Structure 1
């Protein structure tokens, strides 16, 4: 890969290039940053240490993602904060209507993040961790975000190795077909793609003409396999998505 920096650039410009690489990729490791920016990995380590200290980036298990200050500068922090504030009551309405776990997920680069969730009252239930990084290609909520992401993001995800989490994780060809189906039908359904035995239905939430998050309801196959449950869940998600979109009311260009 050709360096994004021409020769003779200052230390300040190299630091900005490192930050821009992380912002554009969403999640990236030291080796890939060094290759893209065109500087030694030891140099990248020095820059990411400074950027972490300023809360411009965060480190997760050896990979780097945009921090809250960088999200704030790009407008994403405002969007996510607003969604976090409004999301819980909307998720509670989904749980009340379905008795299953409801999740609000946003996209950050080439990953999805569980921003908020309200868990099912049932002892047997499925749940994520808040701020957990999730793959865009596996799971209903994540796939909704991918289906409505920019073409460049979709191309990068499809070009990468698609990790298989269960024997029901979609293949690349199936994923391409599903992305088209999601855009046409307005929702995604998954069966055990990320967690064995889990069933999930998800819908996108739009504001200002852009997707800002996905809303998902998920539960065990033993309770969530009937057509009646699927219809009930879809209705609850449709109502919740409309309520959240109306509450956020973001101007065009401010969505994450």
Structure 2
């Protein structure tokens, strides 16, 4: 393998898995660890990967090449308004969650004016194996990401937190249903509903509503909440696809102008 090929394979591995360590990538690609570390160091210096406590994730340069950074910026820009519209309709906390490597992250949130509510802090990292919004993302994650998550020691936050075997069995059902309810997986007494948001066939985030089951456990409330989220998800998909189409068209025009 040439030096260039090694670099490309490492980039492809990070882009696919979203989260990896030097030793795992070295073993998978058959490259010495010391050599792999030097590649990661160079990639980090040029913004292609970012490092967090020994784990490497796609950096800004790699995200921009894949188009994911543009989508996430758009989500952040329009997310709060979308979430507020959900809160106005259902009266509970609404959260937008994205996947960052093998974890979820709260990108945006909107909250009702109520004393008892369940929420995440913006930019808070979340476990992918617990909670409706995170498990929706896990259901559409690459196989390597699913394997990395489920092979770890999964912390149990409550008696309702699922085991790795239960999660693995649930993933096809989640993809088939296109929606998910979790009950008390992260907080006792809570209920959480989530739906995926897609852009050109790729999942970009999940929309998540959470509240106390005493307030949100009725069938009618659950149905109305899912209707509100699914409508918001369709609007987000339409906005993202229109914006990315415009961006692609502009890039093509720029290329032609440079060629001319």
Would you call these one fold, judging by a TM-score over 0.5? yes
Residues 97, 19 of structure 1: CA spacing in aligned structure 2 closer, same or farther, 3 A cutoff?
same
Structure 1 residue 217: Cα displacement: 0.7
Q: CA deviation at 1:188?
A: 0.2
Distance 1:197 1:53 in 2: 46
The 3 A distance-change label for structure 1 pair 56 and 158 is closer
Which gives a bigger RCO, structure 1 or 2 (Cα 8 Å, sep 6+)?
A: 1
Name structure 1 gaps, 5 residues minimum: 1-5
Q: Which has the higher helix share?
A: 2
Matched, 1:59 2:51: yes
- Cα shift at 1:73: 0.4
1:106 and 1:212 in contact (8 A); partners too: yes
Cα RMSD of the aligned pairs, angstroms, is: 2.9
| 1:122-161 alignment runs, 5 A limit | 122-150=114-142, 152-153=143-144, 156=147, 160-161=151-152
The residue aligned with 1:243 is 235
TM-score by length of 1: 0.80
Instruction: Answer yes or no: is 1:180 the counterpart of 2:184.
Output: no
> Residues 159 and 215 (structure 1 numbering): CA distance in 2 closer, same or farther, change over 3 Å?
closer
Q: Can you give the 5+ residue segments of structure 2 that lack an aligned partner in the other structure?
A: 248-260
1:106 matched residue in structure 2: 98
| In structure 2, distance between residues paired with 1:129 and 1:16 | 36
Q: Deviations over 1:58-110 (max 9, x none)?
A: 22233111012111101111221222222111111112222322111233454
Q: What secondary structure sits across from 2:216 in the alignment? A: coil
What stretches of structure 1 move > 6 A for 4+ residues in a row? none
Structure 1 equivalent of residue 64 of structure 2: 72
Aligned to 1:163: 154
SS in 1 for 2:208: strand
